[in-house]
Amino acid sequence: MRVLAEDGPPEPDRPADEIDADRAEPSQADEGGAEAGEQADRVQEALDEAATLAAETGGLGRPGRPVNRRSPFFIGMTAAAGVAVTYGLVELTIRARSVLIMIGLALFIAAGLDPGVTWLTRRGLPRTTAVLVILLAAAGVLAAFLASAIPPLIAQATALANHLPHYMHSLQDHNSELGRLNARYHVQQRLSGLLSSKGTALVGGILGAGAFVLSATTSMLAVAVMVVYFLFSMPRIKLFAYRLVPHSRRTRVILIGDEIFTKVGGYVLGNFLTSIIAGAGTYIWLLIFGVPYPVLLALLVALLDLIPVIGSTLGGAIVSLVALTVSLPVAIATLAFYVAYRLAEDYLIVPKVMGRTVQVPAVVSVVAVLIGGTLMGIIGVLVAIPAAAALRLLLHEVTFRRLDST
């Protein structure tokens, strides 16, 4: 017997209860549509709740529950990330060492010139004008050095080129001093063999020297450009650095940071004043005794005196050797003059000019210069004393206070 549907084909023979159950259950399409509708309702409810919460909080809602930082997974990931970041920073520092040194030197020079800019701004000049005045003064000093150095060098090179034929003729003359030295030690043959066998090495050395000069010139230009940018934007650099500190400690960090900048600026300006004194004293001494190239040697002594501890000694040695062209007594008197000046600079000039700002003991200065020279060469020597002053300030204000309170 078949059961006939109202609008469909006849169904096979089945129990009546199964047929009723199938008709009572919804189809899969009906179930999918109901689920999609429920999900859409839930999404709409979440959106309405988020909009209501954003309106109540005035932002993007309240933050969720904090991550459980004590879980082993979080601790392991944090440790691994710390190791990876530390390794990356060390590798970056090693690879970018030369660039970081140039940036540090430019920032040091800008920090040293910034007190002069600040002094001019307090006198009513805009900061841009004050920076331009300081830069023009520095460019004037450099131009004066080059203007006094280049003509003597060209004159000496021209004189040497003009005397080369005379020297070659003297080598062939056995009655002259050069001829007797050539006959005894075979100077001409040795020079010819050196030029023939070491020609490639000589060319390589010349090319290497040219590459070094080009690299040094490029680095100096890069440092000069960064100094200009740092001078113009020094207030914004300070503000950015201070905003990296938590608000609860920001006031103290600002006070300590400003004190460090003051010490760096005082050191640079004080060192510049002592260099001017050294150059002026050298110029007057050389004019009195008729030593050649007084302007060039005075500027050379002033520039070398910027190097702490050894600068004035090196400049005095060079000037004393040049004074030998006048006479031996003049050279001895020049050497004695620089010994006396070094004592006066160490015990009279430097304590008066920089003693109140830097406040670094003499032993600490010598040790700092030696360590700085070992780590970074001449740049380390230049920044050693202000770095020691900053470290001494941090020790007194932070470390010693905590140790005394425990």
C-beta separation of 306 from 286 below 8 A:
no
Q: Which two tokens stand for residue 381?
A: 């020597």
Q: Are the C-beta atoms of residues 282 and 315 closer than 8 Å to each other?
A: yes
Sequence-ordered alpha helix ranges (H) in 233-246? 234-243
Model pLDDT for residues 155-199, shown as the tens digit of each residue: 766 765 676 666 666 666 666 666 666 666 666 666 666 555 544
pLDDT (mean) for 110-114:
84
Gap between the Cα atoms of 213 and 13, Å rounded: 105
Residue ranges of the domains in the chain?
97-244
Sign of the C-alpha dihedral, residues 124, 125, 130, 136? negative
Is the model's pLDDT at 100 over the cut of 60? yes
Distance between CA atoms of residues 163 and 177, nearest Å: 16
The closest of 288, 333, 338, 292 to 315, measured between CA atoms, is: 338
Give the count of beta carbons closer than 10 Å to the beta carbon of residue 404: 7
Query: Is residue 103's pLDDT more than 70?
Result: yes
The tokens for 36 are 């999609």
The mean pLDDT of 383-404, rounded to a whole number, is 83
**pLDDT score for 5:** 45
Long-range contacts of 309-315 (CB under 8 A, 24+ apart): 309/365, 309/366, 309/369, 309/381, 310/369, 310/381, 312/278, 312/338, 312/341, 312/342, 312/345, 313/338, 313/342, 315/278, 315/282
What average pLDDT does range 295-305 have in this prediction?
84
In 178-297, the DSSP E strands lie at: none
Locate all alpha helices (DSSP H) within 305-361, ordered by sequence.
Answer: 311-323, 328-344, 350-354
pLDDT at 150: 78
What are the tens digits of pLDDT across the range 38-56? 777 777 777 777 677 666 6
Count other C-beta atoms under 10 Å from residue 190's C-beta.
Answer: 11
Query: 241: which 2 tokens?
Result: 């650095």
Nearest 5°: phi and psi at 22? -65, -40
Cβ(178)–Cβ(171) below 8 Å: yes
Q: What is the mean pLDDT of the chain?
A: 76
